[in-house]
Structure formats: structure tokens, C-alpha cells
Amino acid sequence: WPVFAEDIDAILALKRRRNAVVLAHNYQTPEIFHCVADIVGDSLALAREATRVDAEVIVLAGVHFMAETAKLLNPGKTVLIPDLGAGCSLAGSITPADVRLLRARHPGVPVVAYVNTSAAVKAESDICCTSGNVRKVVESLGAPRVILLPDEYLAQNVAKETGVEVITWAGHCEVHARFTAAEIRQLRRENPGVVVLAHPECSPEVVAEADFAGSTAMMSDFVGRNRPARVALITECSMSDNVAAQHPGVSFVRPCNLCPHMKRITLPKIRAALEEMRHEVTIAPEVADRARRAVERMLAI
Ligand code: 13P
Ligand code: SF4
């Protein structure tokens, strides 16, 4: 990829000079995912790997809540996000005051915060979860009812799976909420035999049309394990690009939607982040201590 070569070379040299690593989410574009990332994965893997980083600097190629999680787990390290505007419609849907209100309305009911929330919202919660461990986290609480925020669809999907009553919030992922059950049925008609894997941020109607639902890492593992002849990943566009490069024998049907937040991260911005040591992610200590507890409780499961 000659068009990317100069930025890639510069980033590789800067990583050595700054003693830095790049953690990249599965939705990052292939030139980031395959050429400059040291660690790639879903939100759970990125959080877990963040606890094992030796380098002094972490560049988070992903969205802001992921960089905050890396910072929570590495308070002594410098965590950089290449574009401060890389938000998330789920994280933006709920405030700490909303969580306090929910608690007041449902006294004694444990609060599970999806990792796609701000550190301030995590600080108001009992425990975190990701799409990779939501079922385990909800079941670990042993409670008949839980508050699971802010993704309404993820909450409805896990309620169906576990039988636990889940109090939801009306947040949605703007990427996954766009897929419809009719679209999946159409895709099956047009591609007989296709194996359909959906992210649990999709609506329960879409998940019901899929053969399997799981986090981005679980979808990728499914393809590696089962090597279907033809597969459709009902998720963000870059996923199929990245997984297809790892499994050349598998054909991908691509009914994808783009995440505009993930796409704010580019090679030139990663390069600038390392050159200028920007944009540093910081979290107020009184928020960080409580938010870290929720994340660490999750990682202990
Ligand atoms: P996972 O990679 O944890 O499945 O999350 C998907 C997502 O939408 C992250 O923003
Ligand atoms: Fe947020 Fe959805 Fe984008 Fe993930 S894909 S960062 S959940 S808006």
C-alpha cells in the first residue's frame, strides 16, 4: 500500500522513540489494524491487554470510552487518542445523573454499565460488561433483576438469553440499530447458504434472524473455527475487511454500516498523536477510583 507507506514507517519509528504501543479496535481500517497496531481486539480484549502493557505510552486507535478504559487500568501511563471527537452514540446517550435517577427509581437493583459509557457513568455503576461477557456478568450477580445500561437492544438480547429481568435505557448504537430483520431475510434470499453473524447491539429481531450473535472478537473466532464458505457480518464495515484478510478462503457478503466515530482515526492522526503527544486522556481521580472498581470487578469474572 504505497499510499500509506510513509505514515506507516513514521509511526513504527515513533512507537520505538516514544516507547509506545498502538491498541486498535476491530473496527479500525485495515492499514491501521494490520500495519501499525500492536494489539487488536474487541472491547474486552483491549481492556484486558491494557492491563499487560509495558510501554509508557498507549495510543488507542478506537473511540474515547476505550481510551478512558485503558487510562483507568493504567493510571501511571500516558494514554493518547488521535482524535478527541471519536465518540459513541451509546456513550453519549446517558449521564451520571441519569444513572443516579435509575438507582433511586429501582432501589437495591444492581447497575451494570456497558463498557460503551463514559468513566463518569461507570463510576455510578456496580460493574461493567462488554458484548463479550455480558451474559456472564449478568449471571454472576445472582439477582432476579438488573439495570443494564445504556444499550436497550443488548439488554433485551441478554434478558432473552438469561431469563433475568433487565431494566433498560433507550440508548442505541447508531451503526447496529440501522440493520433490519427484512434486510437479513433479503440477504439470505440473495445469498443461499450464507452464514449470518450479528453483533448483539443489533435489535432482538435482527439477532433472531442470525445464526450466531456475539462480540466482534466472537464473530472473528467463529469464522476462524467454522470457516463457512460464505458469511455476512452484521456489524461495522471494517470488520469484514480485517477478518477477510485473515481468511482468504472465506467469501464475505458485506451489508455493512460505517461508524463515523471509529473512522475519525486515521494513520496521519496516529502519526500526529505520537509526534505531538496528543490528545492525552485524563480522568478526575474521584471519578477514576470508582470507575476503575467497576471495570476491575468485570475483569475479575
Ligand atoms: P465489541 O468489539 O466489544 O464487540 O464492541 C463493538 C462496538 O461497537 C465497539 O464500539
Ligand atoms: Fe459506538 Fe456503535 Fe460506533 Fe461502536 S459502532 S463506537 S457502539 S456508535
Tell me the ipTM for this assembly.
0.97
Residue 26 Cβ < 6 Å to ligand 1: yes
Could you give the C-alpha distances from 38 to 46, 104, 219, 290, in angstroms and in order? 11, 43, 21, 29
Please provide the size of the chain in residues: 301
Ligand 1 centroid to residue 215 C-alpha, Å: 6
* Pocket lined around ligand 2, Cβ cut-off 6 Å: 63, 88-90, 116, 173-175, 201, 236, 259, 261-262
pLDDT of 1 above 70: no
CATH architecture of 176-258: 3-Layer(aba) Sandwich (3.40)
Residue 39 C-alpha cell reads as 494489539
The neighbour count for residue 7, using CB atoms within 10 Å, is 20
Q: Where are the alpha helices (DSSP H) in the chain?
A: 2-18, 30-35, 43-50, 64-73, 96-105, 119-123, 134-140, 152-162, 181-190, 204-209, 216-226, 237-246, 267-276, 285-299
Domain 2-85+263-282 has CATH 3.40.50.10800: yes
Give nearest CA residue, ligand 1 atom 9: 43
Regarding the beta carbon of 131 and ligand 1, being less than 6 Å apart is answered yes
Read off the pLDDT band of 2 (50, 70, 90): confident
Q: How far apart are CA 127 and CA 242, in angstroms?
A: 31
Domain limits, CATH 3.40.50.10800, in the chain: 2-85+263-282, 91-173, 176-258
- Rounded distance between C-alpha atoms, residue 5 and residue 35, angstroms: 9
| Ligand that comes closest to the CA of residue 115 | 1
pLDDT above 80 for 256: yes
Question: Residue 256: helix, strand or coil by DSSP?
Answer: coil
- 196 has pLDDT over 80: yes
**Nearest CA to 243 among 253, 187, 188?**
253
Cα–Cα distance, 280 to 114 (Å, whole number)? 23
pLDDT tens column, 17-72: 999 999 999 999 999 999 999 999 999 999 999 999 999 999 999 999 999 999 99
Annotated binding site for [4Fe-4S] cluster: 88, 173, 259
- Phi, psi (5° rounding) for residue 145? -135, 140
Q: Which residues contact 127 (CB under 8 A, 6 or more apart)?
A: 110, 111, 112, 113, 137, 140, 141, 294, 297, 298
Backbone angles phi, psi at 91, to 5 degrees: -60, -35
- 294's CB contacts (< 8 A; 6+ apart) are 113, 122, 123, 125, 126, 127, 128
Would the CB of 215 count as within 6 Å of ligand 1? yes
pLDDT digits (tens, 9 = 90+) for 197-206: 999 999 999 9
Q: Which amino acid appears at position 88 of this protein?
A: C
Task: Give the whole-angstrom CA distance, residue 152 versus residue 166.
Answer: 10
This prediction's pTM: 0.97
* CA of 117 relative to ligand 1 center, distance in Å: 12
| CA 258 to ligand 2 center in whole angstroms | 9
Residue written as cell 453519549?
A: 92
Q: What is the DSSP letter of 165?
A: E
Residue 3 has pLDDT above 90, yes or no: no
Q: Which CATH superfamily is domain 91-173 in?
A: NadA-like (3.40.50.10800)
